[in-house]
Amino acid sequence: MEEPVKILEFDVLVVGGGIAGGESALNLANLGYKVLLVEKELSIGGKMILLSKVFPTLDCSACITTPKVSEIARHSNITILTGAEPLKITKKGPHHFEALILQKPRYVNIPDCTGCQLCEEACPVSVTDEYQYGLVGRKAAYIPFSIASPRAAAIDIENCTLCGACERVCPTQCIDFTQTEEQIPVSVKSVVLATGFNLFDPLKIPRYGYGKFKNVLTSIQMERQLAPTRPFNAILRPGDGKMPDNIAYVLCTGSRDKSIGNPICSQICCMYSIKQAQLLMGALPMADVTIYYLHIRAFGKGFNEFYAQAQDMGVEFTKGKVGKITEKENGNLILRYEDIETGKVKESEHDMVVLSVGVIPNEGIQEMFNNDDLQLDPYHFVDQSDILASPAKTSIEGVFVAGTATGPMDIPDSILSGGAASAETISYLRRVTS
Amino acid sequence: MDAEKGKTAKFLKGTRTVPREVTEQLKYFTKTKNQLIKVLKEGEKTIPQLSEILGLPTDEVMFQLMSLLKYGNVQAADMDDRDEYFYYKLKDDDKNKS
């Protein structure tokens, strides 16, 4: 590897290009600060860019995210690295951090790629598409998803047969298999952590049969089915392509459950399930939708009205704790649950089950910090050291936190939190220079 | 070492071995794709029909067929009489000729 020639300098390093990190970066950049935005995925936009609609307004999620994402991408004060993550961040002194960024090879020169997708067409390989959450395939030469930013191809080297077909059809010769991993040293004055969250993996609850029963899917898989850039031609059962007409939602999957190590509420699964139920009633007018819940937590602005609207539309709400799911030969599923109102154990049949999965912290953030202790809360989210007076403050001076890196929250709260983090960062930077 | 633009895959081949699973996966996909295209050339089919003809599980047919739908080889046609399953057919272009 070549020796780094010079250390790049920025005012702020924003780790994570989701909606919270994006909001922070944009605010900072609009006020003239130079921002380096580092995103580990191939596109910025986080999880929000992949959603269908948002609650409780039912606005199109992509229509809100994409203009913001293009503004971030085009901003002269923002430098974006996708497919990259900080290896280590070292505090050198007050208002001085040095970070080493790992840039993984994309094997495509982003500025030269026109997004024509000819490489995608030429690639003979088909593997599971992670951006459609495993419902469909994708090529090894691929654009992550249609509204990705940058809208540029990438080569999945792990699944590439090195046949060279992509290169032969590429009109701009932007594919470059000679790219290697790079470590980029940067110097910044402050850091904003917007590392987001993970969704709970329901394989950890084997009694729900996820993975084994193909018509049990996660809420994010249903979200993809409801999005305009959906994986199938309609809303269909992944098990056999049947159009479902009796769908169940199991709320609190992997949330409020000490047995799987996550005792806290996801704060979103009630509302996104109610939203999906409403969208399903629109997309499949003949379908029955039943939501099995422990408590409906419709606490935000307009949430309770949204819940009432779902009830008015005919969504069935059953206060019940689902214990086990079994599969019938025709792919239908039997839910065995405790009816909390009567205390009786009951069974019901559905032809598709959606597990409303919870919010889990991203691991490995603490380890990025070389010589300082980034404190986490008891649930492994980034600890807000002064939550009431300065909610973006962390245990390290000059390192701020935004969005779901601090804990579960919905989209409006994430954006607010991103705003707060940028304001606190600016206040910190101004204290330096004045 | 400089590799010629447009021929860099060859360059990487010199240092990187393609794992066996990757070539196996490619063979499997190509085989399934050809089988599905061959059956669909004879007429529209639903997922359960394709599963029965090819002796593949319905979820496997679903995954592969939906991938072909995404890649532009296949398109959805009408639903069956019971409004349960879609029929799928080949797209009328030269993609399916090989």
Q: Which chain A residues are Cβ-neighbours of B85 within 8 angstroms?
A: 240-243
> How close is the nearest chain B Cα to the Cα of A157, in Å?
9
Judged by a CB distance cut-off of 8 A, whether residue A170 touches chain B is: yes
**How high is the pLDDT of residue A316?**
97
B9 vs A127, A139, A162: nearest CB = A162
Q: Which chain B residues are Cβ-neighbours of A162 within 8 angstroms?
A: 9-10, 12-13, 16, 18
In whole angstroms, how far apart are CA A209 and each of A119, A214, B62? 37, 9, 19
Does the distance separating the beta carbons of A162 and B13 come in below 8 Å?
yes
In whole angstroms, how far apart are CA A379 and each of A203, A256, A261? 20, 12, 9
pLDDT tens digit at each of 434 positions of chain A: 455 557 899 999 999 999 999 999 999 999 999 999 999 999 999 999 999 999 999 999 999 999 999 999 999 999 999 999 999 999 999 999 999 999 999 999 999 999 999 999 999 999 999 999 999 999 999 999 999 999 999 999 999 999 999 999 999 999 999 999 999 999 999 999 999 999 999 999 999 999 999 999 999 999 999 999 999 999 999 999 999 999 999 999 999 999 999 999 999 999 999 999 999 999 999 999 999 999 999 999 999 999 999 999 999 999 999 999 999 999 999 999 999 999 999 999 999 999 999 999 999 999 999 889 999 999 999 999 999 999 999 999 999 999 999 999 999 999 999 999 999 999 999 985 54
Mean pLDDT of chain B: 92
Q: Which chain B residues are Cβ-neighbours of A176 within 8 angstroms?
A: 5, 8
In whole angstroms, how far apart are CA A338 and each of A258, A265, A318, A321, A353? 18, 20, 10, 5, 17
| A residues 27..86 contacting B (CB < 8 A) | none
- What's the rounded Cα separation, in Å, for the pair A233 and A241? 10
Q: Which chain A residues are Cβ-neighbours of B50 within 8 angstroms?
A: none
Confirm whether pTM is higher than 0.90. Answer: yes
- What's the rounded Cα separation, in Å, for the pair A277 and A413? 23
Does the distance separating the beta carbons of A234 and B71 come in below 8 Å?
no
B85 has pLDDT over 70: yes
**How high is the pLDDT of residue A1?**
46
Per-residue DSSP letter, A4: P
**How high is the pLDDT of residue B7?**
85
Per-residue DSSP letter, B15: T
> How close is the nearest chain B Cα to the Cα of A160, in Å?
7
Structure confidence at residue B3 as a pLDDT band (50, 70, 90)? confident
| A residues 221..250 contacting B (CB < 8 A) | 231-234, 236-243
Q: Which chain A residues are Cβ-neighbours of B70 within 8 angstroms?
A: 136-138, 231
> How close is the nearest chain A Cα to the Cα of B43, in Å?
18
A136 vs B5, B12, B67: nearest CB = B67
**How high is the pLDDT of residue B94?**
63
Q: Tell me, which fold does domain B8-96 have in CATH?
A: Arc Repressor Mutant, subunit A (1.10.10)
Q: Could you tell me where the beta strands, DSSP code E, fall in A189-222? A: 190-193, 197-199, 216-218
Judged by a CB distance cut-off of 8 A, whether residue A331 touches chain B is: yes
B66 vs A159, A177, A231: nearest CB = A231
Residue A67: CB atoms within 10 Å = 10
Does the distance separating the beta carbons of B76 and A234 come in below 8 Å?
yes
**How high is the pLDDT of residue B51?**
97
Residue A319 in 3-state DSSP?
strand
**How high is the pLDDT of residue B11?**
87
Ordered structural domains, chain A, with CATH: 8-104+181-196+362-433 (3.50.50.60), 105-179 (3.30.70.20), 200-359 (3.50.50.60)
